[in-house]
Amino acid sequence: METATRTGIGAADFYADPHATKYQAELEANPNAFRILFDLLNLPANEQRLADAEMHNLPALAGVVRFIEADPTIERILVSGPPGFRFRQSVGVAVKLKMAKLGWRSTGRKGAVKGASHFTKAERFAPGPAAGDDYAAGALAAIDAVGQIGEDSERQSTGRALMDALAATRRSEGRPF
C-alpha cells in the first residue's frame, strides 16, 4: 500500500476534533475498519479523487466511496443495521477531517453520492480555509500592516476605494455586503 502524505489523518485527529469525538464508540468498536478507512483516505491517489469529485460538482465522498464499500471489513459493518448507520456517519466525519487537512472547507450543504450502495448524501466542500482558521488572523495582521503605510488622508481615500470595490464585487456576485 502507498504511504500516507503529510496531510494524513488518523485516530488522533478523530479524538482531537469536537464533532468526531461523538463517534469515538464506533472508532473503538471497529479499530480495524477505521485503520482501513484512514489508510484509504490517506492514499495520495484518493486525496486527488476527493478533490476531483468536488471539482466535478459531486461530494468528495463520491470520489472514494467505491473503495470504501469494496473493503470486506468495512462492508460487514455497513450492512449491520444501526451500527452500520453510525459507522456511515463517522465515515462522513473522517472525510470532513481529511478535506480540512487538504485545505477545503465545509459548505454546510449535502449532495447525492451517486453509485454508492450504502451512502446516499454527503457533505460538500469548497476550496479555502475553514472559518476560524489562521487565515482570519493573517488577514487582520495584513490589514494592520497596510494601515501603517502612507499618510492618514491617503489611507482614508484608499480605504474608501477598496470598500467601494468590494461592495461592487459582492453585489455583482449576489452576495450581501
Domain boundaries, the chain: 11-127, 134-172
Sign of CA dihedral 65, 66, 68, 73: positive
Q: Which residue has the cell 488622508?
A: 153
Q: What is the pLDDT of residues 13-56, one digit of tens each?
A: 999 999 999 999 999 999 999 999 999 999 999 999 999 999 99
Contact 59, 124 (CB under 8 A): yes
Contact 87, 33 (CB under 8 A): yes
Average pLDDT over the chain reads 87
Q: What is the pLDDT of residues 142-155, one digit of tens each?
A: 666 666 777 878 77
Q: What is the structure's pLDDT at 32?
A: 97
